[in-house]
Amino acid sequence: MNRNSLQMVLSAWLVCFSAGLLQAGPARNPIIWADVPDVAVIRVGDTYYMSSTTMHMSPGLPIMKSKNLVNWTLVGYAYDRLVENDAMNLENGKSAYGAGSWASSLRYHNGTYYASTFSSTSGRTHIYTTQDIEKGPWKEISFAPSLHDHSLFFDDDGRVYMVYGGGDIRLAELKSDLSGLKEGGFHDIIIKNASAVAGPNIGLPAEGSQLLKVHGKYYLMNITWPRGGMRTQIIHRADKITGPYEGKVILQDRGIAQGCLIDTPEGRWYAVLFEDNGAVGRSPWVVPVQWVDGWPVLGTNGKAPDVLDIEDSGEGLSNLVCSDEFDRAPGEPLPLAWQWNHNPDNRFWSIGVRKGHLRLTTGRIDSSVLQVRNMLTQRTFGPVCSAGTKLDTANMKDGDCAGLIALQKRYGFVGVKMEQGAKTIVMVSAQSDNPQTMETVPLQQDIVYLRIDCDFRKRTDKAYFYYSLDGTTWTRIGSVLQMAYTLPHFMGYRFGLFNWAAQTPGGFVDFDYFRISPQLME
């Protein structure tokens, strides 16, 4: 590819994905080919809002909006930092990988929006409130204990509850100000062994509660996982919130499960769920719902459709991913697509100190790239994607390593390492769980271009690593990374920009841009 054609490809992605780049037509599942798990959806008027899980990322608890359930735009996050402790701050050898905050609940009640979550990292249940879900600000209430996979629920009689738990599903009444469990309030098991409706041989007990009330009945959505089977969607219903409940399996298809039921202004019903989608992560699906004899019936003949009866507006991933030229003044906010890996240390990063650049300065010595603070990340996405950056290494110190990573437990990165005053381009792979340097190339200049291509087609899940000395001619380096979704990180792969000191803090690098494309550049 010559310079002009490369610049044309890159310049097309200087802004977030927009409507003019994809043709409209019937929507297809997954509605977002990226990691957007544990979805909770509400409708306020003709607008839908969705929360999801980003765990150890900061800011966290993303909030999205849509007019049609398939085209979603990020509008903000419920919190900037979940908690200040060693795990979320990547200090003293601790981390929150696979933890942070998990499945959230989203509610609108009497003019206030509520986004709640729970965390083993903080040991607490967190409730965030705002009058304006799109602009904030959000206020936090938190209390112990941490209520697992809860569903916040405001009942018609003014009482407020959380349904939560795994296996045995419990109902806990909250204080009216939501500041904790109500003393003397209801707190008991309402469904014992909720997985029983899916059979006796269960691996993952019922969890992922989402409660709603339809025509005077209470409906509780949960998932379970029969051994040797797949993630399965179950539902229980009752005339009273305290039970008794009767249940059944309502979807067992390709592991598409965990989420909620939602109605449209026209009175149609859908389920918004997710599917394990290989290394890219857990991707949301929309499934049509019909009501039969007071039960929701999902899909057609027990199958979730690949093609929906909803028009796709052609917006693609909207602003869930975004190129960035780093051309803002100091103090201006990052695009919403960016999240830090754990809590950042704001003393050691900047945009605009050098005009048009992101500067990452090392503030301490680390033993692993996975312990590095101030790694700036975005989702990878399918079916294919490519991310590239231009890196100025002039101010690195011995022992420093900086570059572009495909982040998960089995990560891979391409970057520049400095040792004894000499720089090399390196490709490092942790595919075997033990990071290995797969190739090194001497670097005689300060500027280098780095790129990672990801192929998620048909669960191929391969990442390819490249460098360039002039931004035009690209050379593949190292090995192909066989990406794998691992439970210790519990998150789809992300692109990340990092700078890491192994000997002396204080070195810095400047990233000129971060550019993404939904096409592979070769």
- For residue range 42-56, list pLDDT tens digits in order: 999 999 999 999 999
For 231, 251, 304, the CA distances from 255, given in Å and listed in that order, are 4, 9, 10
Q: DSSP state, 47?
A: E
Give the whole-angstrom CA distance, residue 514 versus residue 499.
15
What is the CA angle 388-408-374, rounded to 5?
65
Average pLDDT over every residue of 13-31: 65
| Confidence at residue 48, expressed as pLDDT on a 0 to 100 scale | 98
| Confidence at residue 472, expressed as pLDDT on a 0 to 100 scale | 96
| Average pLDDT of every residue of the chain | 95
Strands 494-501 and 400-407: antiparallel
DSSP assignment of 264-293, as one string? -TTS-EEEEEEEE-GGG-EEEEEEEEEEET
Strands 187-191 and 217-226: unpaired
**pLDDT, tens digit, 9 for 90 and up, residues 135-163:** 999 999 999 999 999 999 999 999 999 99
Q: Can you read off the two tokens belonging to residue 12?
A: 């097309």
For residue 183, what are the contacts with CB-CB under 8 A and spacing of at least 6? none
**Greater model confidence, 3 or 224:** 224
Please report the beta strands in 10-89, taking only residues with DSSP state E, as ranges in sequence order.
Answer: 25-28, 40-44, 47-51, 57-58, 60-66, 73-79
Range(s) of the chain covered by CATH 2.60.120.200: 339-517
| Confidence at residue 32, expressed as pLDDT on a 0 to 100 scale | 98
Q: Which fold has domain 17-312?
A: Tachylectin-2; Chain A (2.115.10)
Are 412 and 481 spatial neighbours (Cβ–Cβ below 8 Å)?
yes
**pLDDT band for position 18 (50/70/90)?**
very low
Tell me, what amino acid is at 18? S
**pLDDT band for position 173 (50/70/90)?**
very high
467: pLDDT strictly greater than 90: yes
**pLDDT band for position 428 (50/70/90)?**
very high
| Confidence at residue 9, expressed as pLDDT on a 0 to 100 scale | 41
Give the whole-angstrom CA distance, residue 71 versus residue 314.
8
| Confidence at residue 478, expressed as pLDDT on a 0 to 100 scale | 98
Tell me the β-bridge partners of 379.
494
**pLDDT, tens digit, 9 for 90 and up, residues 346-399:** 999 999 999 999 999 999 999 999 999 999 999 999 999 999 999 999 999 999
258: pLDDT strictly greater than 50: yes
| Confidence at residue 388, expressed as pLDDT on a 0 to 100 scale | 98
**pLDDT band for position 314 (50/70/90)?**
confident
Give the whole-angstrom CA distance, residue 88 versus residue 344.
9
Q: Can you read off the two tokens belonging to residue 309?
A: 């009866």
**Greater model confidence, 449 or 17:** 449
Using the Cα atoms of residue 90, residue 93, residue 97 and residue 103 in order, give the sign of their dihedral: negative
522: pLDDT strictly greater than 80: no
Average pLDDT over every residue of 177-197: 98
Average pLDDT over every residue of 102-129: 98
Q: Is the pTM for the entire model greater than 0.75?
A: yes
Give the whole-angstrom CA distance, residue 50 versus residue 40.
5
Tell me, what amino acid is at 383? P
The domain 339-517 having CATH identifier 2.60.120.200: the answer here is yes
Give the whole-angstrom CA distance, residue 313 versus residue 502.
48
Burial 469-485 (b: 16+ CB within 10 A, else e): bebeebebbbbbbebeb
24: pLDDT strictly greater than 80: no
| Confidence at residue 23, expressed as pLDDT on a 0 to 100 scale | 55
Are 495 and 404 spatial neighbours (Cβ–Cβ below 8 Å)?
yes
Percentage, residues of the chain above pLDDT 70: 95
**pLDDT band for position 11 (50/70/90)?**
very low
Q: Can you read off the two tokens belonging to residue 110?
A: 């009497």
| Confidence at residue 159, expressed as pLDDT on a 0 to 100 scale | 98
| Confidence at residue 315, expressed as pLDDT on a 0 to 100 scale | 82
Using the Cα atoms of residue 44, residue 47, residue 53 and residue 56 in order, give the sign of their dihedral: negative
Residue 96 backbone zone (phi > 0: left; psi -120 to 50: alpha; other: beta) = alpha
Side-chain-side CA neighbours of residue 140 (13 Å): 15
**Residue recorded with tokens 């229980």:** 236
Q: Report the Cα–Cα distance between both ends of the chain, in Å, rounded.
A: 7
Give the whole-angstrom CA distance, residue 460 versus residue 477.
19
Give the whole-angstrom CA distance, residue 251 versus residue 208.
15
Range(s) of the chain covered by CATH 2.115.10.20: 17-312
